[in-house]
């Protein structure tokens, strides 16, 4: 089986050395580079910081910090897709994994034909998740900007006795003259009127 998706950089975190060797062999056979290996959830965070892998394959049960807790920490600190390895697919483990932002799941023993599709799906899902989060942040920013402009427009209408179109035109003209965004000008207008009040 050949790996057709381009070179991927994967990190493996499992406290069982023999499991790591088998998994590494499967990955290398599929043209996937293994950039780092670790034995604990604590090491997983450091691996993400220092190696920036495309994905981390991590065992659920490890000493110190389990794979799900480590996945949650990685998600917050060094956002990287995580695929969990587990011997059991009980509901509680799946629920915790989903809450931690895990992007994929492999049952032990790992079947090679499931490995590459799971990796690709996890990376793809993670990319979609990142895009959605970015779009969400942009929408929030746009909404905030709109509210700020609306507030400034309202103040101009009230204080300067302008109609809505005139108030909007004034903000836009000042923004163009000053080479600033309308939001920045709206913030200045709000601040100026609040100081007067």
Residue 2's pLDDT band, with cuts at 50, 70 and 90, is very low
Please write the tens of the pLDDT for every residue from 143-162: 999 999 999 999 999 999 99
Domain end, chosen from 110, 126, 145, is at 110
User: Both ends of the chain: CA-CA distance in Å?
Assistant: 73
Helix (H, G, I), strand (E, B) or coil at 84: strand
Domain of 78, in residue numbers: 9-110
CATH number of residue 187's parent domain: 1.10.10.10
Same domain, yes or no, for 92 and 150?
no
Q: 62-89, pLDDT tens digit by residue?
A: 888 889 999 999 999 999 999 999 887 7
Clarify whether residues 104 and 143 are in a common domain. Answer: no
Domain match, 155 and 89 both: no
Angle at 49 between CA 129 and CA 33, to 5 degrees: 80
Q: Is the pTM of the predicted complex or chain greater than 0.75?
A: no
> Quick check: helix, strand or coil at residue 52?
coil
* 119 found inside a domain: no
Q: Poorest-confidence range of 46-50, 107-111, 166-170, 187-191?
A: 107-111
Could you give the CA distance from residue 117 to residue 112 in angstroms, rounded to a whole number?
10
In tens, the pLDDT along 82-137 reads 999 988 778 888 888 888 889 998 988 888 889 989 999 999 989 888 888 889 88
Q: Give exposure, 4-33, as e/b (b: 16+ Cβ within 10 Å).
A: eeeebebbbbbbeeebbebbbebbeebebe
Are 18 and 106 within one domain? yes
Helix, coil or strand: residue 173: helix
Tell me, yes or no, whether 141 and 96 share the same domain: no
Number of domains the chain is built from: 2
């Amino acid at each position: 089986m050949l790996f057709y998706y381009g070179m991927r950089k994967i990190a493996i975190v499992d406290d069982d050395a023999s499991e790591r060797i088998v998994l590494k062999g499967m990955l290398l056979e599929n043209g996937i580079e293994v950039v780092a290996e670790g034995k604990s959830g604590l090491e997983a965070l450091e691996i993400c910081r220092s190696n920036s892998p495309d994905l981390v394959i991590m065992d659920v049960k490890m000493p110190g910090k389990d794979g799900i807790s480590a996945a949650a920490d990685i998600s917050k600190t060094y956002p990287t897709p995580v695929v969990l390895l587990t011997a059991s697919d009980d509901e509680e483990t799946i629920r915790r994994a989903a809450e931690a932002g895990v992007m994929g799941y492999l049952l032990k023993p790992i079947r090679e034909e499931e490995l590459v599709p799971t990796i690709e799906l996890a990376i793809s899902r993670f990319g979609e998740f990142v895009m959605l989060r970015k779009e969400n942040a942009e929408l929030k920013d746009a909404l905030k900007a709109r509210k700020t402009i609306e507030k400034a427009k309202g103040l101009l209408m009230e204080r300067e006795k302008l109609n809505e179109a005139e108030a909007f035109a004034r903000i836009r003209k000042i923004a163009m003259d000053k080479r600033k965004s309308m939001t920045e000008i709206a913030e200045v207008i709000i601040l100026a009127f609040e100081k007067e009040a």
